[in-house]
Amino acid sequence: MPRNMIFGPKLLAFAIVLLTLMTAAATVMLINDSITLPNDGEAVLKARTLSASYNSTLNVTVTDEDGRPIGPHLVGPATVKIVGNTTAPAGWQTDSNGSAVITGVFGNSTGTLYYLSVEAMGFQTALEQVVAIENRTTNVTIILVGGVILGKVSTAAMPPVGIRNATVYIPSLGPRYSNKTNSLGQYIMRGIPEGQTYTVFANASGYVGALSNVYVPIAGSVDFVLTSQTGSISGFVYNSATHIGLNGTNISVRIGNSVILVSSSTNGSYQFDNVPPGTYAVTATKIGFYSNTTTGVKVTRENQTALYFNLTEKPTLLRGAVRSGTLLLVRANISVVGTMFYNLSGPDGTYRITNLTAGTYTVQASRPGYVTALFVEVIGPGEEKELNVNLAAIPGAILRGVVSTIVGDVKVPLVDVKVTLVTTNITQNSTSTNILGEFAFTGLLPGNYTVLFERADYRPMQVSDIAVTNDTTSSRQFLMTPLRHGFSGFIFGFDMPHSMMILGLFLTIAILAVAVYLRIRTFQAPGSAPAVYDEVDDETADGGSADGQDDLEDQLSESKGNGKDSA
């Protein structure tokens, strides 16, 4: 029985051919709607490029090299054109913000390419590519190149010196057409419309301004020479001990309500320009040195006042902590080799060495039982240098412990406990505890040791037969008892609060013992029991209560029944 087919082979082939033709037709239509670019690169636009029915927009901003907008406020606005466009308008004028908006531009979803031509009086014409996309606004910035004015602003004094931060500007073009000179007095202004003569001004604080008429474009530079209305202060800053110039020294002078600050160069030189005539106090400061102030410094117009400083170095500080692993080392010797400076680490393991002058030093850290260590340190003037030391224990067994005492109910570490090994065959036979109550003996031979603990106001304690084994660390806990002075307690040497606690405990035990004794006597001699027992017996004898008799009869009956069950 043949099967029913929805699509026969002929019908399916016809459908495929039809779809292919439709796709080809759509492709041809899309190509006809887009821009074609000839081999010479010039855009050829169709007459329908601009139409009210098209919804693509080009937002064009025209500026010069420094980002200033080119508009009617200059010699005239810039004109933006679409190359090859045959529809009106032929071009668009930029506004005061340098912007021109072109609407009704044809653009497809993948982007249609156009060429924009931009021209303005006094600037070179520019050609820029832009892509219009369907239902979108394309923003593009086009830069026009104009004329350039450059040169130098110098002082009238001999030899001429470039004036820093002088202002060079062209008033006729507006406040945005100005430039500041660099540290050498140099300036440059770009984006100047060509073909005209401009009056260019130069001025600087403390100087008489100057002007020059400049035709743009120019051949060469435009230099300005300014006459100072003020004087200057200059000089050097030296190290008073080495007489070497100090770099980075801050020199300050108060002029009116303002404090002017400059920094010395690598050779210690400095200079203040544009100082009004008068008498001043000048101060030199540098980290690591004592400041120096000179008063009565006179400044006159067009003259340079020389002023020199010699700064005295502040003492330095070398500080840090000494450890061996996690153990804070007490009485470790930190010394500066070749000098008389040294310090011993305290209970917290820290040390401080002051009054060193700046320089490079070799620092030695040593302690009996530990390997001596050397460090090379560079210390600057007045610098607070931190050098933390970690000493390695000499080879051998280590006996380490913690010494504590009891305060109230809390165990508290004891500091400054003198700990002595009762033996004479080792290098380190005595040490003291740190702020954590810790101590350690290093480089020991295997065996049993006796340790003596001593501290003021505490009972001396000697512990024997402390075993250590080869190349291991033995850790122990030790508890010291404080001495009792005067009438601080009266029971077993305890203080008053603990004595009262013990006394209260004794009294409680005594009262409890009496109570137990009386209870035992009551059971042993019922006749001597309290009268309440006689009252109960009397009530029973008088028949006042039959409950007891009934209970007794019930118990006898149950006993008889139980006997029968057992039989």
Lowest mean pLDDT among 7-16, 176-185, 514-523, 555-564: 555-564
| Band (552; pLDDT cuts 50, 70, 90) | very low
Tell me the C-alpha distance between 43 and 97, whole Å: 28
Residue-level pLDDT at 9 = 63
Residue-level pLDDT at 414 = 95
Residue-level pLDDT at 43 = 39
Residue-level pLDDT at 200 = 96
Picking from 426, 462, 428, the residue whose alpha carbon sits closest to that of residue 447 is: 426
Residue-level pLDDT at 29 = 43
Which tokens hold the place of 527?
């006749």
In three-state secondary structure terms, 353 is strand
| Band (540; pLDDT cuts 50, 70, 90) | very low
Sheet containing 333-336: which strands, arranged edge to edge? 342-344, 333-336, 359-366, 373-379
Residue-level pLDDT at 528 = 57
Residues in the chain: 567
Residue-level pLDDT at 8 = 60
Tell me the C-alpha distance between 454 and 450, whole Å: 13
Does residue 147 register a pLDDT over 70? yes
Tell me the C-alpha distance between 283 and 294, whole Å: 6
Q: Read off the pLDDT of residues 27-54 as tens digits, 9 standing for 90 and up.
A: 444 334 433 443 433 334 443 457 777 8
Place of tokens 């007459």: 47
Does residue 405 register a pLDDT over 80? yes
Residue 474 CA from chain centroid, whole number: 43
Does residue 195 register a pLDDT over 60? yes
Residue-level pLDDT at 11 = 63
String of b and e for 528-559 (b: at least 16 CB within 10 Å)?
eeeeeeeeeeeeeeeeeeeeeeeeeeeeeeee
Burial class (CB in 10 A: 0-12, 13-18, 19+), 13: exposed
Pairing of the two strands 410-413 and 397-407: antiparallel
* DSSP secondary structure of 395-425: SSEEEEEEEEEEETTEEEEPSS-EEEES-SS
Residue-level pLDDT at 228 = 82
Tell me the C-alpha distance between 319 and 354, whole Å: 8
Phi first, then psi: give them for residue 539, nearest 5 degrees: -65, -40
Mean pLDDT of 435-451: 91
Does residue 353 register a pLDDT over 70? yes
Q: Rounded to two decimals, what is the model's pTM?
A: 0.42
- Residue 466: strand pairing partners: 449
Residue-level pLDDT at 515 = 86
Which tokens hold the place of 249?
């020294």
Q: What whole-number percentage of the chain has pLDDT above 90?
A: 53
Tell me the C-alpha distance between 289 and 238, whole Å: 11
Place of tokens 């410094």: 297
CB 162 within 8 A of CB 154: yes
| Band (530; pLDDT cuts 50, 70, 90) | low
> What is the overall mean pLDDT for the chain?
83
Strands (E), 327-372: 327-328, 333-336, 342-344, 350-356, 359-366
Mean pLDDT of 189-195: 93
Place of tokens 């118990």: 555
Lowest mean pLDDT among 152-156, 443-447, 536-540: 536-540
Picking from 270, 266, 223, 218, the residue whose alpha carbon sits closest to that of residue 246 is: 266
Does residue 548 register a pLDDT over 90? no
Residue-level pLDDT at 554 = 53
Which tokens hold the place of 344?
């011993």
Q: Read off the pLDDT of residues 87-144 as tens digits, 9 standing for 90 and up.
A: 888 899 999 999 999 999 999 988 999 999 999 999 999 999 999 999 999 999 999 9
Mean pLDDT of 168-185: 93
Of the CA atoms within 13 Å of residue 12, those in its CB half-sphere come to 5
Q: How many CB atoms within 10 Å of residue 169?
A: 19
CB 380 within 8 A of CB 358: yes
Does residue 546 register a pLDDT over 80? no
Q: Read off the pLDDT of residues 360-371 as tens digits, 9 standing for 90 and up.
A: 999 999 999 999
**Pairwise pLDDT comparison (296 vs 501), residue with the higher score:** 296
Mean pLDDT of 487-495: 53
CB 346 within 8 A of CB 434: no
Does residue 153 register a pLDDT over 90? yes
Helix locations, 4-85, DSSP H: 9-33
**Pairwise pLDDT comparison (220 vs 216), residue with the higher score:** 216
Widest pairwise Cα distance in the chain: 150
Does residue 329 register a pLDDT over 90? yes
Q: How many CB atoms within 10 Å of residue 451?
A: 21
Residue-level pLDDT at 382 = 81
Residue-level pLDDT at 490 = 52
DSSP character at residue 63? E
